[in-house]
Amino acid sequence: MEFNEETIKSQRIYKGNITEYWVEEVLLPNGKKANRELVKHAGAVAIMPFTADGKMIFVKQFRKAIEKTILEIPAGMIDKTDDNPIETGKRELEEETGFQAKVFELETSFYTSPGFSNEFLYIYRAEELTRVDQPLAQDEDEFLELVTLSFEEAWVAYEKKLIIDSKTVFALFYWKMKKEMEQKNR
């Protein structure tokens, strides 16, 4: 059975700075029609910055959509000035943390919520960090605090529901897997 949905009609209902909202009428595989409410997004990059002593840098910030202050790995949108996701990641790492990384490796990428959005997220691991004397400026509407945590401290933050967004939960479980593999290989 083919699962494709043919778009019959497409209407953009709002274009913001970060997202666009569309309603599309589609023809289903069974011949019936349905509406799809879609959020279109340019994509984003997240960074897992590891310090020399094996800790990870998080950013603490308020998220209006959930009315809560949480801990997240640094991240940001791919914008028109970036030629590729790695440039976005390096820019966001410096803007949000004031660090640059000698090692910057792609770990994974995925659609964050394909049921309603086309947002595609790249997650990089950053190591061998150096502080920048005059880092790139943070976005005007961005208020963050850096929090550097050991794995154990980050796990406690997860249990306390301070780490609750998908990219940061992924980073935490990636870190757990990495630690378990290192112990296994000893």
Choosing from 140, 152, 159, 182, the catalytic residue is 140
Residue 140 annotated in active site: yes
Question: Which is nearest to 124 in space by CA: 96, 111, 100, 105?
Answer: 105
86: helix, strand or coil: helix
Cβ pair 61, 141 in contact under 8 A:
no
Is the torsion defined by CA of 145, 109, 183, 176 positive or negative? positive
Question: What are the start-end ranges of the H helices in the chain?
Answer: 85-97, 151-159, 166-184
Half-sphere exposure of 146 (CA within 13 A, CB side): 16
Alpha carbon distance 119, 117 (integer Å): 6
Alpha carbon distance 129, 49 (integer Å): 8
Question: Which is nearest to 95 in space by CA: 125, 55, 140?
Answer: 140
Residue 126, strand partner residues: 49, 104
Write out the catalytic residue numbers: 140
